[in-house]
Amino acid sequence: MAAKSEQTRQLVADVALKMFREIGFEKTTMRAIAQEAGVSVGNAYYYFASKDELVQELYIQVQDEHAVVAAQALESVQDLAGRLKAVLHTGVDVMAPYHQFGSDFIATAIRPSSPVNPFGEASTAAREASLAIFRSAVDGSSPAVAKKLRGDLPELLWLAYMGVALFWVYDKSEGQRRTRKLIDGAAPLVARGLSLAKIPGVGKVFDDVLGLVRTVKEDS
C-alpha cells in the first residue's frame, strides 16, 4: 500500500478543514489538529509546511467545487446577467460553510507571501480555474458580448468576484442576504452597462478604461 503516507496527509487535511468549519481558524490550533487526528504536531508539519498550507487545501477544494457547480448552473442560462448571477451565487454557495472563517482566510490570503494569495504563484492553478469559469460565462452568453470587451472582461469580472467575496466576508446579515441582493442587483447592471458600449461617447470611455487596464497590467 503506497497510500499509507497519503492517508495520513488526507487525515490531517480532513480534520483541519472540519475544525476550520466548526470552530474557526484561531481555535483550530496545530496541536488540536494533531491531537484530533491522532498524530504528533511535527507529523502534521511533515505534510503541511505551515498552517497556511492547510488553508490552501481548503481554498483549492472550494474552488474545485465552484468550478463544478458553476458549470452545471451555466448550462441552462443564456443571457449575460443570468450567467453572471449563476457564477456569483454558486461561488457564495460553496463558500457558505466557511463564513465565520472568512475574515481569517482573507487576512491570510491577502499577504503576498501566502500560498493562498489569489494573485500569487502558489495559486496560479486555482486562479486559472476560477478565471476559466468567468471566461465560459462570458463566451457562452447570448446575445454575445461586444468583441472588444470579450478579452478582458473575464479578468475584470473575476476581480469583481474578489470584491463580492470581500463583501460577503463582512456581511453579517442572516444567510448573507445582502450579498445575494448585491449579486442580483449588480449582475443585470453590469450587463446593461456593457451594452452601452455601443453609444459613441460611452464607447470612447470604455476603450480608455481597457487601455488603462492593459497599461497597468503590462508595466510590471
Q: Answer yes or no: are the C-beta atoms of 216 and 155 closer than 8 Å.
A: no
Q: Is 117 in the site for DNA (CB under 7 A)?
A: no
Q: Nearest distance from residue 29's CB to DNA, in Å?
A: 3
Residue 52 interacting entry, from a copy of itself, DNA, none, C-beta within 5 to 8 Å by type: DNA
Region binding a copy of itself by CB under 8 A among candidate stretches 3-11, 39-47, 72-80, 203-211: 203-211
Q: Answer yes or no: are the C-beta atoms of 25 and 105 closer than 8 Å.
A: yes
Q: Nearest distance from residue 58's CB to DNA, in Å?
A: 14
Alpha carbon of residue 115 to chain centroid? 14
Q: Is 49 in the site for a copy of itself (CB under 8 A)?
A: no
User: Phi/psi at 30 (nearest 5 deg)?
Assistant: -60, -35
DSSP 48: -
Can you read off the three cell numbers belonging to residue 107? 487576512
Q: Which residue's C-alpha cell is 451555466?
A: 74
User: Phi/psi at 129 (nearest 5 deg)?
Assistant: -60, -40
Footprint of DNA on residues 22-61 (CB under 7 A)? 26, 28-32, 39-43, 45-46, 49-52
> Binding residues for a copy of itself, per CB under 8 A?
103-104, 106-108, 110-113, 119, 169-170, 172-173, 177-178, 181-182, 185-186, 189, 192-193, 196, 199, 201-202, 205, 208-209, 212, 215-216, 219-220
